[in-house]
Amino acid sequence: MRRTATSLVVLAALLLLPASVAAARPRAGCPGAASGYDLVDQDVWWHRTVAGFEAEGITVYDGSDFSAEFDAFAADVGFGDGQGLYDFVWVEQWIGIDKNDDLYVCMKDRPITPGNPAYFFNGVDNTAAD
């Protein structure tokens, strides 16, 4: 009886092992280099977004503050001011992409077209490559 019970426990552990291993997702990277995705943190995400605004002719900073031009742009698109747009990119947008909360995501430049300005990017969580 004892041998049968031990065998059943070992069998149950073996059956459950793959499920528990599959449930624990390791930290992943971005899709292959050919995909165009780069692993970035929040600082890089923001700096590349700023570079996109600048490429579109929108000056983001005037010294250490947001420029009047950026404040006006942010108000025109519904964020109130530059700080509101910054908060959206830095917090809300980031949280929506960083699903595993490890403070890294995969970022990819999009083709620049009239309907797709330089400050638009593709972003996926770095576990999306799993």
Count the Cβ atoms, other than its own, within 10 Å of residue 119. Answer: 21
Q: How many domains does the chain have?
A: 1
Helix (H, G, I), strand (E, B) or coil at 88: helix
Contact criterion met (CB below 8 Å) for 109 and 36: yes
Q: Could you tell me if residue 22 is inside a domain?
A: no
Q: Could you tell me if residue 14 is inside a domain?
A: no
Q: pLDDT exceeding 70 applies to what percent of the chain? A: 76
What is d(CA 19, CA 33) in angstroms, rounded to the nearest whole number?
30
Q: Could you tell me if residue 111 is inside a domain?
A: yes
- In angstroms, the Cα distances linking 88 to 12, 82, 83, 106 are 48, 10, 9, 18
Q: Could you tell me if residue 49 is inside a domain?
A: yes
> What pLDDT sits at residue 32?
82
Q: Could you tell me if residue 7 is inside a domain?
A: no
Q: Could you tell me if residue 108 is inside a domain?
A: yes
Across the beta sheet with 38-40, the strand order is 38-40, 105-109, 121-125
State both tokens at 110: 């999009």
Question: pTM for this structure?
Answer: 0.74
Rg for the chain (alpha carbons), in Å? 23
**58: which DSSP letter?**
-
The residues pairing with 108 across neighbouring beta strands, listed in sequence order, are 122
Write the pLDDT tens digit of every residue in 58-71.
999 998 899 999 99
Q: pLDDT exceeding 90 applies to what percent of the chain? A: 68
State both tokens at 61: 């900073």
Q: Could you tell me if residue 57 is inside a domain?
A: yes
Domain that holds residue 59: 28-125
